[in-house]
């Protein structure tokens, strides 16, 4: 009879071996559970580096103007309301012709159509994805939540610059804001949202 077999029938040594292996496997499972959560910041970094998913900066960028007059890019501005909220929200202009490397300013107009005070948060997204990290905002209402008085209408400025390193094949860049309204960011999860909207 071999040593291995004796280890099995005489229990104790095998037990020890089992315990060590079980420990390692549990560690592996625990590690993978943690890895699932680690994917969150990893994904953010990945998106910011690659512009994956149209991710663009949500904190003010510091840039130097280096205008490239030889290139003209069309910038489109679009607005969407997240959920059905009692707001008006639209860009002041729908398109602009811009040169890369120069700062431009435009604004969106938002109006709280309720008789209560509301806070909204605009989430930016840029298409195409390959342009996202070349589209820098130095000033934007999307950096912070915006509080509105009842029935208040307000212009909300955006100052942006397109990096001259924008890929050559891109001739048109879209800046999209989705305006998530309501007192809480969890407004989306509210099961009654459809009822509220229809009111």
How far apart are CB 195 and another protein at their closest, in Å?
A: 13
Compare residues 95 and 165 and give the one whose CB is closer to another protein: 95
Q: Which residues of 116-127 are buried (b: 16+ CB within 10 A; e: fewer)?
A: eebebbbebbbb
Q: Give dist(CA 14, CA 8) in Å, integer.
A: 6
CB of 122 to another protein, least distance (A): 10
CA 89/CA 112 separation, integer angstroms: 9
Q: Which is nearer to another protein, 105 or 194 (CB)?
A: 194
Nearer to another protein, 90 or 138 (CB): 90
Output the smallest distance, CB 117 to another protein, in A.
Answer: 18
Residue number, 63 or 109, with CB nearest to another protein: 109
CB 51 within 8 A of CB 148: no
Under a CB-based contact definition with an 8 Å cutoff, are residues 119 and 182 in contact?
yes
Q: What's the min distance (Å) between Cβ of 34 and another protein? A: 8
In angstroms, the CA 41 to CA 74 distance is 33
């Amino acid at each position: 009879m071999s040593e291995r077999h004796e280890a099995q029938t005489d229990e104790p040594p095998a037990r020890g071996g089992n315990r060590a292996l079980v420990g390692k496997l549990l560690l592996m499972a625990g590690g993978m559970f943690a890895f699932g959560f680690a994917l969150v910041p990893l994904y953010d970094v990945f998106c910011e580096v690659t512009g994956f998913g149209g991710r663009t900066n949500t904190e003010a960028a510091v840039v130097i103007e280096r205008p490239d007059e030889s290139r003209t890019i069309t910038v489109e501005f679009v607005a969407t309301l997240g959920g059905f909220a009692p707001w008006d929200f639209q860009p002041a202009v729908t398109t602009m012709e811009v040169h890369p490397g120069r700062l431009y300013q435009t604004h969106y107009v938002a109006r709280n159509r309720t008789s209560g005070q509301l806070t909204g948060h605009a989430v930016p997204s840029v298409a195409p994805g390959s342009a996202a990290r070349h589209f820098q905002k130095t000033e934007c209402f999307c950096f912070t939540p915006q509080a509105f008085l009842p029935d208040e209408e307000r212009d909300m400025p955006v100052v942006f610059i397109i990096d001259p390193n924008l890929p050559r094949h891109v001739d048109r860049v879209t800046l999209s804001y989705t305006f998530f309204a309501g007192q809480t960011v969890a407004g989306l999860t509210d099961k009654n949202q459809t009822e509220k909207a229809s009111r």
